[in-house]
Amino acid sequence: FIDELAQAAGKDPVAFRRALLDKHPRHLAVLDLAAKEARWGAPLPAGKAGEKRGRGVAVVESFNTVVAQVVEVTVRGKEFSVDRVVCAVHCGIAVNPDIVRAQMEGGIGFGLSAALYGRITLKDGAVEQSNFHDYPVLRMSEAPRIDVHIVPSAAKPTGVGEPGTPVIAPAVANAIAAATGQRLRNLPLRLG
């Protein structure tokens, strides 16, 4: 929705968010770091014939941790792939930076599973999915390149178990919209 507001205002999605977050330094720090590391504003390399490429951004605060992600996608007809995720996290002092990175990577993978596949259907009052053969999750071959950047801080540590998850679906949806102009509002994300 923030991207739709930015588009209606004729503003760049990152610049629009920066203006909204001017009194929130932790949010600005992750947004600026993710945008810088993702080279926001620089054109994406061209795709193959018939492909469209897009970049999207989202920022979320959960468990007192702020996360921004910039996602790059490639769209081929009604199919798309998530190629790269640049994640910036402000979790106070990173007691163990390797664990912070691992938690962000895991949260991104978990969130991508929901964004791409997380459909539960009911038939005659019972859930139809029973295991991984009919409820797919993200496979290693589908996993994007993930770059995690930690905002330096001396503040008390905050959560890193889940905060990488809720930001990925909106960032992917914004990247798809940037590539195709189509806004997706339901999970799992499907191009019409």
Condensed to tens digits (0 to 9), the pLDDT of residues 77-115 reads 999 999 999 999 999 999 999 999 999 999 999 999 999
Non-local (6+) Cβ contacts of 49 within 8 A are none
Non-local (6+) Cβ contacts of 88 within 8 A are 29, 30, 31, 33, 34, 37, 67, 68, 69, 148, 149, 150, 151
pTM greater than 0.85: yes
Res 6: pLDDT: 97
Res 38: pLDDT: 98
Mean pLDDT, all residues of the chain: 96
Low-confidence ranges of the chain (pLDDT < 50): none
Res 47: pLDDT: 85
Written as one letter, the residue type at 183 is: R
Is residue 111 classed as helix, strand or coil in its secondary structure? Answer: helix
